[in-house]
Structure 1
Amino acid sequence: MKHVTVPNDRIGVLIGEGGETMRDIEARAEVRLDIDSETGSVRVESVGDPIVGLNGPDIVKAIGRGFAPEDAFRLLEDDMQMFELVDIEAATRNKKDLRRKKGRLIGEDGRTRELMAELSGADVVVYGTTLGIIGSPEQVDAVRSAAEMILDGAPHGAVYAFLERRHNEMRSNDIEYHEFADGSRSV
C-alpha cells in the first residue's frame, strides 16, 4: 500500500465524471483507491497482479501532476514506460526566478514543451513547480537533459539542437534490418 498526495484542483480529474476515471484506474492497474478529497491524500492498494499494481501510485501521481488520465495509462502499456518529475523549484532562487524558468520550459505559446514532447516521443507536462515526463527510459532521459539545460540557462536554440540529435539517434536505433537468405538486407 502506498500513499500519494494529489493537489486539490486535480482530485476531480482523478475521480472523473461519476467516478469513471477512478474505476478505470482500479480496473486497469489492479488497485483499490481510497481518495480523501479534503486533504488530497490517496491510498493506493494493490488488489490483483502485484507487478501491474506497482504502476498504480505512478498513475495517480501523474494525473495529480497534470497529465490527462489517458496519458497516465501509458504507464501500463509495457514495462519500459516510466514516470519522472523534474523539480523546477529546486533550480530557482525565488518566486520571480521560478516564474521565469517555468516560462522558459513552457516556451512561447507552449512551443518548448511541445518540442520536448515531439522530438523525444515522451508525454511532457508542466504543472505547478514540476515538469512531468512519461515515456521510455531513453525518452525520459532526453527530456530531463533538455529541461536541465533550460534550467541552467542554455539558449533555446542549443536545447532544440540537442533534442534534434537525440531524436535522430533514437530513430536510427529503432531501424530494424531484415536479413534475407541471400545475405541482402532491407529496412
Structure 2
Amino acid sequence: MCCLSADTSNSQERLKGRVIGRDGEAREHIEKMTQTEISVYGKTVGFIGYVQNIEIAQEAVKMLLNGREHSTVYDYLERNHLSIRR
C-alpha cells in the first residue's frame, strides 16, 4: 500500500479511528462495498479478497488516511461498485 507516518501516538490513534469508524462502521462499510475483509492492528492495515476488490478498498483507506470525509469515500465506493468482483 503506502506509508503514512503519525507524529505521536495520538495521531496514530486518530488515523486508526478514521479507518475503523464509530463502532466499526467505516471498516464494515468498506468491507461490505468491496467484498473484502479488513484488519487494523497497530500500524498495519491488512486486506483479504480478490485483487481488484482489494485495490478499491486500499484506495478508500488511503483517502480516509489523507483526511477525506467519510461521505466522499463512500461516494467513491458507490462509483466503483460495478467493477467489484463478487
Secondary structure, counterpart of 1:154 in structure 2: coil
Secondary structure, counterpart of 2:67 in structure 1: coil
1:149 is the counterpart of 2:63: yes
In 2: Cα distance, 1:166 partner to 1:159 partner: 11
Query: CA deviation digits over 1:40-82, x for unaligned, max 9?
Result: xxxxxxxxxxxxxxxxxxxxxxxxxxxxxxxxxxxxxxxxxxx
Which of residues 18, 23, 32 in structure 2 aligns to 1:109?
Answer: 23
In 2: Cα distance, 1:161 partner to 1:121 partner: 16
In 2: Cα distance, 1:147 partner to 1:91 partner: 14
**Conservation of the 8 A alpha-carbon contact between 1:86 and 1:132:** no
Unaligned runs of 5+ in 2: none
Which of residues 118, 133, 136 in structure 1 aligns to 2:47?
Answer: 133
Per-residue deviation, 1:113 = 0.4
Letter matched to residue 160 of structure 1: Y
Query: CA deviation digits over 1:124-180, x for unaligned, max 9?
Result: 111111111011111110111001100100000000111111122326xx7xxxxxx
**Conservation of the 8 A alpha-carbon contact between 1:91 and 1:151:** no
- Partner of residue 159, structure 1: 73
In 2: Cα distance, 1:157 partner to 1:141 partner: 19
- Please report the TM-score for the alignment, with normalisation by the length of structure 1: 0.43
Secondary structure, counterpart of 1:91 in structure 2: coil
RMSD over aligned CA atoms reads 1.8
**Alignment length (residue pairs):** 86
Secondary structure, counterpart of 1:131 in structure 2: strand
- Partner of residue 34, structure 2: 120
Q: Going by fraction, where is strand more abundant, 1 or 2?
A: 1
Higher Rg of the two aligned structures: 1
Secondary structure, counterpart of 2:84 in structure 1: helix
Looking at both structures, which has the greater relative contact order when contacts are Cα pairs under 8 Å and sequence separation is at least 6? 2
- Partner of residue 178, structure 1: none
